[in-house]
């Protein structure tokens, strides 16, 4: 019998990053190597090579490592064109070999690991990487796994942040049957206690001024996109490109903000992350009604994105921002970028960390873009990236050198409605700010109608009467919980802090002024960070 799912066919589902990911266990590390490997999720048939590395030498050692034991082949993935950020003056700085990897350009190449002719052991990127490090006698900075980042909800398993597969469970996030017998953290996933459920909005919509003395701040999100909603239709753009090239995923058939039931069985249940991007856009709009919002889609319907695809999108976003900051043609202001996704690195110290991601975020910071990152929902102090690339209160625990020319990344944990830190929120010296993220109210695509039915419904006295249908969002609003939502709240507040000092759209805006405004906004909301 043909196996299908509720929207995407079976083959399409198997191409999603989370379905193809492999879990790295600490026991998989080569004995005696330091630092020890921690659990993470990655795509086993790929390795990434930063343009900051010596690409030729890197590929040579990778090929030797792949061929040594298993006969694996390593060839450039030509379905993934090399992506390169060319920073124009005066935004560009001399990196002065800060990463000790600088040989070329800030960009990325992806290489495929293939089986030997005639078949053999299935390729594994971690095995290749560890063998290459052993052969080379060094950490091979700039060469790494293609990690799988996730947009995760609250889960009953307190260790799920190190397991890349938990997001495929279709039941824990939308189960309407109550909190009995669940863990304290899991209560946030139950309707009525912070889990996703429809609510009625009875107040006025956020007041947006018709005109402003300067331009409007631009807040960008890189998530699941944005669906239709009366608050957002006129102010959110999903079609912004870079030199005509799309940013992120533009396939309409895999859009979880338009098609809510793309994964899981054919029961009509709304996917775990469907509506995520619309909810985020609504929080930005509430925090700064005068902001323009750009919503790019990079996250797949299963809540995952491959690191290489994220980097490709970030290169194009950084290109727009750096051109604007340099006064070059083809740019666009990106005042704040909100990222509600993350992963746990297997060896999160220099020189093992992901140079391309760190430097791309630094390039955005040099252009004056404030990057706001959610801390994660695993109730752990284990660093989650990209949030942990920001300044630590105890110094830079990742080993990533601080770029003095870049405004800092802001990492954000979640607060409960009473102002306490949400039980699910990650914490530690790398989490520098907190904002509401537990049981917050925001927008949902108005077309969403899930497969659950109300417990009771009837027609009486000329009216339809029913109990609340827990996955019917025609009212356009919901309650939801996660650090995913704390990040856009703070992003919107930062945009509001930037608003008074923004110049008119046709006025000159030197990069030093952009950075100064950004640092002042950060200092006003997160004292001591900038």
Residue 24 main-chain phi, psi, to 5 deg = -90, 120
State which H helix or E strand residue 83 sits in: strand 83-85
Structure tokens at 223: 């998530």
Alpha carbon distance 78, 223 (integer Å): 25
Distance CA 391, CA 526 (A): 12
Which domains does the chain carry?
10-147 (no CATH), 217-457+465-525 (3.40.50.200)
Does 86 or 460 have the greater pLDDT score?
460
24-69 pLDDT per residue, tens: 877 665 555 545 678 899 999 999 999 888 889 999 999 999 998 7
**What pTM did the predictor assign?**
0.92
Look at residue 350 in the predicted model and tell me its pLDDT.
65
Give the C-alpha separation, 354 to 144, whole Å: 7
d(CA 239, CA 250): 9
- Give the C-alpha separation, 21 to 305, whole Å: 11
pLDDT tens string 315-365: 999 999 999 999 999 999 999 999 999 999 998 776 667 889 999 999 999
CA distances from residue 71 to 82, 122, 132, 528 in whole angstroms, order as listed: 26, 10, 14, 53
Question: What is the pLDDT, as a whole number, of residue 464?
Answer: 95
Q: Are 449 and 306 in contact (CB under 8 A)?
A: no
Nearest C-alpha neighbor of 45 from the set 65, 72, 71, 70: 72
**φ, ψ for residue 452, nearest 5 deg:** -65, 150
pLDDT at 165 over 50: no
Percent of the chain with pLDDT over 90: 70
User: Which DSSP state fits 500?
Assistant: G
Give the tens place of pLDDT for each residue, 404-418: 899 999 999 999 999
Instruction: Identify the CA nearest to 432 among candidates 407, 417, 413.
Output: 413
How far is Cα 365 from Cα 407, in angstroms, rounded to an integer?
Answer: 5
- Locus of tokens 């609510």: 199
Distance (Å, rounded) from C-alpha 149 to C-alpha 187?
A: 24
Q: Computed over its alpha carbons, how large is the radius of gyration of the chain?
A: 23
């Amino acid at each position: 019998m043909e196996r299908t799912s509720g929207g995407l066919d079976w083959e399409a589902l198997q191409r999603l990053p989370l379905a193809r990911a492999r879990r790295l266990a600490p026991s998989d590390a080569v004995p005696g190597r330091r630092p020890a490997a921690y659990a993470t999720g990655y795509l086993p048939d790929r390795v990434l090579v930063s343009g900051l590395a010596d690409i030729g030498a890197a590929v040579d050692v990778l090929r030797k490592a792949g061929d040594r034991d298993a006969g694996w082949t390593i060839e450039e993935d030509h379905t993934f064109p090399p992506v390169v950020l060319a920073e124009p003056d005066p935004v560009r700085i001399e990196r002065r070999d800060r990463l000790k990897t600088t040989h070329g350009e800030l960009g990325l190449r992806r290489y495929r690991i293939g089986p030997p002719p005639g078949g053999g052991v299935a390729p594994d990127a971690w095995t290749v990487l560890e063998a290459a490090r052993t052969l080379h006698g060094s950490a091979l900075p700039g060469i790494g796994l293609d990690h799988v980042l996730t947009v995760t909800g609250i889960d009953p398993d307190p260790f799920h942040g190190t397991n890349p597969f938990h997001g495929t469970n279709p039941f824990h996030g939308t189960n309407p049957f109550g909190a009995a017998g669940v863990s304290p953290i899991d209560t946030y996933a139950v309707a009525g206690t912070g889990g996703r459920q429809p609510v009625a909005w009875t107040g006025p919509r956020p007041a947006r001024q018709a005109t402003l003395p300067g331009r409007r701040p631009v807040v960008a999100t890189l998530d699941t996109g944005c669906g239709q909603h009366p608050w957002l239709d006129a102010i959110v753009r999903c079609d912004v490109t870079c030199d005509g090239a799309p940013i992120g995923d533009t396939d309409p058939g895999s859009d979880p903000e338009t098609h809510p039931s793309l994964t899981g069985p054919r029961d009509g249940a709304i996917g775990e992350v469907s509506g995520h991007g619309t909810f985020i856009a609504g929080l930005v709009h509430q925090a700064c009604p005068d902001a323009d919002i750009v919503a790019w889609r990079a996250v797949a319907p299963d809540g995952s994105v491959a690191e290489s695809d994220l980097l490709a999108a970030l290169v194009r976003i950084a290109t727009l921002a750096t051109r604007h900051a340099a006064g070059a043609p083809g740019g666009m202001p990106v005042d704040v970028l909100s990222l509600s996704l993350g992963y746990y690195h297997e060896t999160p110290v220099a020189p093992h960390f992901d140079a391309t991601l760190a430097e791309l975020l630094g390039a955005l910071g040099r252009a004056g873009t404030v990057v706001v990152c959610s801390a994660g929902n695993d109730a752990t102090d284990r660093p989650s990236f990209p949030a942990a690339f920001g300044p630590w209160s105890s110094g830079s625990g990742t080993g990533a050198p601080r770029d003095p020319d870049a405004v800092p990344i802001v990492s954000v944990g979640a607060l409960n409605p009473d102002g306490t830190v949400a039980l699910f929120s990650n914490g530690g010296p790398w989490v520098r700010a907190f904002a509401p993220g537990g049981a917050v109210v925001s927008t949902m695509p108005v077309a969403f109608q899930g497969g659950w039915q109300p417990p009771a419904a009837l027609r009486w006295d000329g009216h339809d009467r029913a109990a609340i249908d827990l996955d019917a969002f025609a009212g356009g609003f919901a309650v939801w919980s996660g650090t995913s939502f704390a990040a856009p709240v703070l992003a919107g507040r930062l945009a509001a802090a930037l608003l008074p000092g923004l110049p008119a759209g046709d006025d000159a805006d030197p990069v030093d002024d952009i950075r100064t405004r950004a640092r002042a906004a950060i200092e006003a909301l997160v004292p001591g960070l900038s």
